[in-house]
Structure 1
Amino acid sequence: MSTLDIHPDRRHYRPSDPADPALLLDARTVAEALVERARREPAAVAYYLPDEPEADRRITVSDLLVRAHAAGAALIAAGVTPGARVCLCLDTSAPLLAGLFGAALAGAVPSVLEPPLTAGRRELWLDRVRHIAAVAQPAVLVCDDLLRADLEAALDGSGVTVISPPFGYGAVAQPVLGSRPDDPAFMQFTSGTTGAAKGIVLSHRAVFAAAAAIGGGGPFLDGDVMVSWLPLHHDMGMIGATLTPFLLSLPSVLVRPMAFGSKPDRWLRLIHEYRGTLSPAPNFAYRLVTAVARRTDLGELDLSSWRAAFNGAEVVDAATLHDFLDLTARYGFHPRHLRPCYGMAELGLAATFSPVGTSPRVELLSRSALTEGRAVPPESDDDAHPYVSCGVPVPGVKIRVADESGLDAGDARVGRILVSAESMMSGYLEGAGAANPVLELHDGWLDTGDLGFQLGGELFVTGRSKDLVILAGRNYQPQPFELAAETVAGIRPGGAAAVGVLDPATGTERLVLVVETKHHRDAGMCAATADEVTDVVSRRTGVRPGRVLVVPPRTLPKTSSGKLQRPRVAALVVAGTIG
């Protein structure tokens, strides 16, 4: 690669250029922010869409306003009124952005649903859409024309009107720019890691507070460019990579998730091409891109512009950080720019970022003591396990780690992670589209359902409480078992699931590993793989699996954002319908 590969808009950028903090727009709603930006800087680029047709690859703020007006007018013509809900079932594209901002101009409350990834999973996807429609009760659902007939049939009798782009050339006669701060602004549906998807309602106040927290914690600076392949139905993709940069007057480069899934190194090439400075992804993406990049010629790749590589959405793995930094050092990426973080959709997005200007903090702690809830140094090398800090709270967010009685657990003690912030959701939508979402707090604190501990003011996240594997009274997180299994030849990153299954003979759970491999049809290789997984997991974790099941690729159930659904895996193991 050379400077000729750099996008013309970014050839002047130099990573060492000093920059002021990016300022949050003085607006009360996303619609007001769009109108204000179009008045102030109409020619500024709002979004780059490299995979779209030529006319849609570079969308300015004034262009976005025109497109949003057309989409808003189409929504109103289909029956949308102020306060109504709109579901946008579109992949990352110009129509999706037009629909998102068009719903805002119409005063509606939008949410983004993922389209089906494959034809074979269409029935599962339709079930998810039916569930979400029953909870959200949207007035209108927008989808591609190829999906329209299936969705109309699936939602028949629900009262939902289904429409498709293009939206035409209309305009919203009376844009809804001013709303009360606590009115609903956006709905986000959880990925359903441990159950059915839940609708999260964010107010206008919460959306702007989330953007302020992310921008301040980054910090996001003038001249920054976001690069993201994350799906917009996920909070990291929508709030982190799409809305926050826009509200801070920064451009985003957005490509479809499949652009990463089919060619992971494309992510790094886009950062090079657009001189991207900000780019987030889950831990599995850093593992996958490292594995692919090691066997791919990346040419003269230059990642020196990338100063905030956020790693979150799942437990951050120390080995992944090490391997990624080992790969990218030759391309100008510095360890201090790798930023482990922690957050959730219920909080808008961000809760903690690792401190600015520091390399990721990794602590070697006793694996056995952690099963008893204590974060202490190991007594031997065999007992040592590296744990990664997710950093300190971003501005406006407070964090607590509580014990079973709800009191502060204290430093170096594992407990439930509680959060409090102005960006917090209004509540979950309950069945049948309850008008008043319910938010259950404990003395003003939201229980995240995650477990972790604090050391010296920094948060370490160990996993989900519902994913715990309990063996002989000791609590184990599944990730160390899965990461160990994935080191076995033929098992790809993300192709292992560790669950606890009750053994009636012993009265306690036993550890079961389900691993995906392309060699699943060869009985001899399956047996050899299972034996090797057993040996490697035993050696690396000190716990011997009770059973290893070898299954075909794409067997493990995952959410729409790629997270393992371990409770479903456990249920399939118990039922004997997997492996």
Structure 2
Amino acid sequence: MVLPIASAAPLSEISHEVKTINLKETTYESATAQSLVEILLKQASIEPDRVHIYFQNEKGEEKIITYGELYTEAKRVANGLHEYGIGEGETIAIMLPTCEDFFYTFFGVLLLAAIPVPIYPPFRPDRIEEYAMREANILKNAEVRLLITFHKAERLSELLQVFISSLKAVTTVEVLKNSTAKAPNRTITGDMPALIQYTSGSTSAPKGVLLTHNNLLANIRAAGAAMQVGPTDVGASWLPLYHDMGLIGAWFICFYHAIPVVIMSPLSFLSHPERWLWAIHYHRATLSAAPNFAYELCMRRITPTMIEGLDLSSWRLTLNGAEAVNPKTITQFIKKFSPYGFKPETMFPVYGLAESSVALTFPPLNRPPVIDTIKREPFEREQKAIAADAGDSKTLQFVCCGKAIPGHEIRVVDENNQEVPERKIGFLHFRGPSTMRGYYQQPEATQKITHDGWTDTGDMAYLAEGEIYITGRKKDTIIKAGRNLYPEEIEEVTAQVSGVRKGCVVAFGVQDQKSGTEQLIIVAEAKEISASEQKKIVAEVNEKIAVVLGIVPDEVLIVPGKTLTKTSSGKLQRAATKQAYIDKKLLRHALPFWAQIAKLSAKGLKLKLTNLFRSAWKGIYTFYVGILTVLCAIIVWGSVLVFKPSRAAQITKAITKIGTILMGCRIQVENENALSNAGATVYVANHASYMDAIVLIAVLPPGVRFVAKKELLKVPFLRTIITRLNIITVDRVDFLTNLSDTQKIVDELQEGKSIVFFPEGTFTYATGVRPFKLGAFKAAVESGTPVCAVAIQGTRSILRDDEWLFQPGKIKVTIGEILAPQSKEWQEVIRLHSLARAQIAKHCGEQVLDY
């Protein structure tokens, strides 16, 4: 259903008639749901006509999307993905603007048990090359298999494809929906990944935050409880859906609670911020959220004539977060819009981050914002937040962001991770069920911020009366003359100078080797002005900073508009600006759009030629490996025909060991001594490649038995080897479901034989340790046989699923500690399973994924 709305008309002709929404409590209880997919399936089944989204496009038309329609269209997308051969756990990039297709695509990916990776579409033609290379790095890190985009971005997306070796294809939602394939119904559990959210990169290179369904649901439930979301609530958002605050904080929280949500284009808000307020008025919305700059924009751009007749009395909570909350902004916003029914307690300063599935701390309900005024001197020199006296002139202000949401904890610590007293600035840590699984494919980065179960936010903060006050980013702190300066205040003061563009100032520190302190550098955008006018602005900035902070900047640069780079969520990129300053590239003029495209095309052509030569080399190498494999197989086949199984097993081990060396794939074994004293053992290993079995034959004691599918007996050559080497054949890899297969394996173990299992059952292109089936551990417990975890690292890069060209590489095998069963109880099966998987995850170099 498409309806015209007020914003479709010219501003002078807008009708502000209030829309009547039929609000009723849902009959489905989502509190027990294990995944977002389960909620969609149940809601679409029980209440298919329940209104979920009022989507307002840039033309000013409103489309109603019900739960039933969301499922139907998402299923069509899933069918298309299935036709492309997308498997469980594979990553799918969604490069779409805020549009109705985004909703269908996101859930279409989830229905197939794949992992959505939202990335922002190109929005600045003057920085298209920079955008393309940044997105290429994200797509490479995520090992994206398919890129879903829209027609206007198809050409750029195809250019990106050259840089991403994992990418199967670039496609559109329209193509996916027209598929005639039928996707299987896959079981989605809470531990399965639901999203990889790339951080905005405002202070560093973007990292992929891996969030499970459990993470998201825990966060949504806790945030919903803190806000007391109920059936009479209505959401409203202009936030981009590729950003976590818009995706989780706006869409998902309304989706979970089955309350309608008005979603409009971010471009509509940025060009006409009053449309956000009119959408709240029109739909009698009660909940919304935005970063601090949005409230600033409303104050600067909205005039009384634009909002004549506006009624904001329905607005119950507006979350202010995702960037530093400015005390002046919230005070002035309340003052400006209180005549239109906006209540002080509606302003809701919050704190969150992607690593905690967005929400982390909320203030109490029905309380106006609390602003803490503290003394400047002890704050800057001693890192203490001492409350200012009434007559103090040198002060700072920070906004209270409340306490941790239910079920979560926060703490403020020093450099040694020891908690500090109240009103002492330290590092903010958190823990709770919303905490991410980790940074995707970046275990070192994950380990760096993890401290005994707590996660470092990267922010500085202090506690006062049990509530948190954020003072700034750790990486952004400028240390000058023994004082800790925070860029937010410097940028705010600079922006007050006439001629400086609001929200377009960056302050940072650059190390001065001579003085041993940092130089304070300020970069501010201004409209095109003469050199004399620039000097005047620089002088005013110096004077204002000196008066307020008692310090003079080392350098103030006035640059043209659109010089400073911003993240997809609108945050200024201080780190990127600082690096550009250091590299003397800050004032370098960007190439024209066509020139940037030509440059990208040239890079792509060069890479294509490089890949062509690389593929040719890999083809020659693969041919060599093929000949080597045939020769080794003939020797093994002959040995099993001539010699006894024990002798044949020794020859097979020797041949595979020599074969891997001749392939240029030397195997490094860690803790090999653990194998020397092992008797009958259940060996369990991760599975990443066809190479894994060869590696284990070369490493483990000769004569260990493998478990294979009975179907392999149909191949005459393999049948001989399987039979003569006493390889165990079963009907299913998950033999736990077959009692005869289970007993066969238990009998072998009780006879003193060692058996090798790949408890994941299979492998796919996607990197990661998948769930372990329990059969191997059950057999170990029933037979009383110890378990040995074997972690294999490097085989996936030698020969990956869906690829047939080999490449040489290093292989590392880590033999784990022997795990002896302690009882015959089912809990012992789970214990062995957990311990073995943890050992493998620690040494295999890949992230743990659950399906």
Distance 1:106 1:335 in 2: 45
Mapped contact 1:25–1:249 kept (Cα < 8 A): no
1:545 to 553, 569, 572: 553
Measured after TM superposition, the shift of residue 577 of structure 1 is 3.1
Mapped contact 1:20–1:221 kept (Cα < 8 A): no
Deviations 1:179-222 (A, max 9, x none): 33222111111011122210111111111101111111112121
Aligned residue for 1:571? 579
Distance 2:236 2:268 in 1: 13
Deviations 1:265-286 (A, max 9, x none): 2221211112111111111111
Measured after TM superposition, the shift of residue 129 of structure 1 is 1.8
Mapped contact 2:211–2:436 kept (Cα < 8 A): yes
Q: Which moved more, 1:79-88 or 1:445-454?
A: 79-88
* TM alignment of 1:10-21, pairs within 5 A: 10=21
Aligned residue for 1:427? 438
Residue type at the aligned position of 2:536: A
Mapped contact 2:190–2:213 kept (Cα < 8 A): yes
Q: Does structure 1 residue 397 correspond to structure 2 residue 435?
A: no
Aligned residue for 1:305? 314
Distance 2:561 2:234 in 1: 36
Residue type at the aligned position of 2:71: L
Q: Which moved more, 1:326-335 or 1:153-162?
A: 153-162
State TM-score, norm by structure 2.
0.64
Aligned residue for 1:114? 120
1:139 to 135, 139, 145: 145
Q: Which runs of 5+ in 1 are unaligned?
A: none
* TM alignment of 1:314-463, pairs within 5 A: 314-371=323-380, 372-378=382-388, 381-430=392-441, 441-463=450-472
Distance 1:145 1:437 in 2: 36
- Over 3 Å counting, the alpha-carbon distance change for 1:467 and 1:78 in structure 2 is same
- Over 3 Å counting, the alpha-carbon distance change for 1:471 and 1:214 in structure 2 is same
Q: Which moved more, 1:297-306 or 1:446-455?
A: 297-306
Deviations 1:111-141 (A, max 9, x none): 2110001222221221122111111112211
Distance 1:456 1:21 in 2: 40
Measured after TM superposition, the shift of residue 488 of structure 1 is 1.6
User: Match of 2:399, SS?
Assistant: strand
Mapped contact 1:104–1:176 kept (Cα < 8 A): no
Mapped contact 1:281–1:311 kept (Cα < 8 A): yes
1:524 to 524, 529, 532: 532
Distance 1:479 1:20 in 2: 44
Distance 1:533 1:547 in 2: 10
Residue type at the aligned position of 2:409: K
Aligned residue for 2:767? none
Aligned residue for 1:32? 38
Measured after TM superposition, the shift of residue 539 of structure 1 is 2.1
Distance 1:54 1:373 in 2: 50
Mapped contact 1:486–1:492 kept (Cα < 8 A): yes
Residue type at the aligned position of 2:394: D
User: Match of 2:575, SS?
Assistant: helix
Q: Does structure 1 residue 44 correspond to structure 2 residue 53?
A: no
Deviations 1:421-466 (A, max 9, x none): 10111000126xx8x9868521110011100000001100011100
Aligned residue for 1:499? 508
Measured after TM superposition, the shift of residue 569 of structure 1 is 1.9
Mapped contact 2:58–2:268 kept (Cα < 8 A): no
User: Match of 1:59, SS?
Assistant: strand
User: Match of 1:243, SS?
Assistant: helix
Aligned residue for 1:555? 563
* Aligned pairs, number: 571
Aligned residue for 2:216? 207
- Over 3 Å counting, the alpha-carbon distance change for 1:572 and 1:512 in structure 2 is same
* TM alignment of 1:177-216, pairs within 5 A: 178-216=187-225
Identical positions, percent: 34
User: Match of 2:194, SS?
Assistant: strand
Deviations 1:399-431 (A, max 9, x none): 000011111111110000000010111000126
- Over 3 Å counting, the alpha-carbon distance change for 1:440 and 1:567 in structure 2 is closer
Residue type at the aligned position of 1:386: Q
Mapped contact 1:106–1:172 kept (Cα < 8 A): no
Measured after TM superposition, the shift of residue 20 of structure 1 is 11
Q: Does structure 1 residue 263 correspond to structure 2 residue 269?
A: no
Residue type at the aligned position of 1:158: S
Deviations 1:251-306 (A, max 9, x none): 22112222222222222121111211111111111111111124753111111111
- Cα RMSD over matched residues? 2.6
Residue type at the aligned position of 1:189: Y
Distance 2:29 2:547 in 1: 51
Distance 1:415 1:86 in 2: 38
User: Match of 2:259, SS?
Assistant: coil
Distance 1:296 1:39 in 2: 46
Residue type at the aligned position of 2:387: P
Mapped contact 1:32–1:177 kept (Cα < 8 A): no
- Over 3 Å counting, the alpha-carbon distance change for 1:21 and 1:40 in structure 2 is closer
Distance 1:50 1:26 in 2: 32
Measured after TM superposition, the shift of residue 52 of structure 1 is 6.2
Distance 2:181 2:37 in 1: 12
Bigger helix share:
2
Distance 1:498 1:22 in 2: 50
Measured after TM superposition, the shift of residue 174 of structure 1 is 5.2
Mapped contact 2:356–2:434 kept (Cα < 8 A): yes
Mapped contact 2:16–2:278 kept (Cα < 8 A): no
Q: Does structure 1 residue 158 correspond to structure 2 residue 165?
A: yes
Distance 1:421 1:92 in 2: 30
- Over 3 Å counting, the alpha-carbon distance change for 1:20 and 1:249 in structure 2 is closer
Mapped contact 1:69–1:171 kept (Cα < 8 A): no
Distance 1:437 1:466 in 2: 17
Mapped contact 2:198–2:207 kept (Cα < 8 A): yes
Mapped contact 2:41–2:71 kept (Cα < 8 A): yes
Residue type at the aligned position of 1:536: K
Distance 1:556 1:109 in 2: 32
Aligned residue for 1:81? 87
Q: Does structure 1 residue 284 correspond to structure 2 residue 293?
A: yes
Aligned residue for 2:485? 476
Aligned residue for 2:754? none
Distance 2:557 2:508 in 1: 11
Distance 1:333 1:445 in 2: 38
Deviations 1:1-46 (A, max 9, x none): 9996245343x78xxx9x9999645321222111101112111111
Deviations 1:458-509 (A, max 9, x none): 1000111000011112211110111111112222321111111233443311
- Over 3 Å counting, the alpha-carbon distance change for 1:292 and 1:558 in structure 2 is same
Measured after TM superposition, the shift of residue 571 of structure 1 is 2.2
Distance 1:318 1:438 in 2: 35
- Over 3 Å counting, the alpha-carbon distance change for 1:565 and 1:196 in structure 2 is same
Measured after TM superposition, the shift of residue 375 of structure 1 is 0.7
Measured after TM superposition, the shift of residue 175 of structure 1 is 5.1
User: Match of 1:162, SS?
Assistant: strand
Residue type at the aligned position of 1:79: G
Higher radius of gyration, 1 or 2: 2
Mapped contact 1:182–1:205 kept (Cα < 8 A): yes
* TM alignment of 1:222-261, pairs within 5 A: 222-261=231-270
State TM-score, norm by structure 1.
0.93
Distance 1:41 1:137 in 2: 37
Mapped contact 2:140–2:166 kept (Cα < 8 A): no
